[in-house]
Structure 1
């Protein structure tokens, strides 16, 4: 298993690759730790996806229930009073000003 070792000479850094056999305790512990971390990531991913799917199902069920509980809108236009209809033609001034009509 390859490892990278960092060495310093003064301010200069050098990297050296070390091949450590898998039979060594360092390599075995590192490999086991990586496997455990990967399993934990997969478990968390599955848990997160399950929670998300459950929330989507709950939202969908709530939407269906709200649609089923809401009654169909009634036609309220029949119950309204009739609209004002403006009279056609010129207004009758005698009726408005209450005059007795034309004088002769």
Structure 2
């Protein structure tokens, strides 16, 4: 069942099973978790691209922020902050992907 899911669907499925109280003792959870190793390269690639995008967005804000409209600057700052916080949560137990430690 899990093999036809894309990476995000698989992670959502595992979370759903977890929230339902299933553990690695349950066959459905084991089946879903068995699919996860094949998805790790995609997950790592997406995280690396997100780190690059975050650094790029920070760079744009530093160098071009003053040329943007207030609305644009506010929106991009919010996106940058959200992305940095999300990456920070993921990187909290490993090496940070951007200079600010996120």
Q: Give the TM-score of the pair, scaled to structure 2.
A: 0.29
If each structure's helix is expressed as a fraction of its own residues, which one has the higher value? Answer: 2
Q: Which has the higher contact order (CA 8 A, sep 6+)?
A: 2
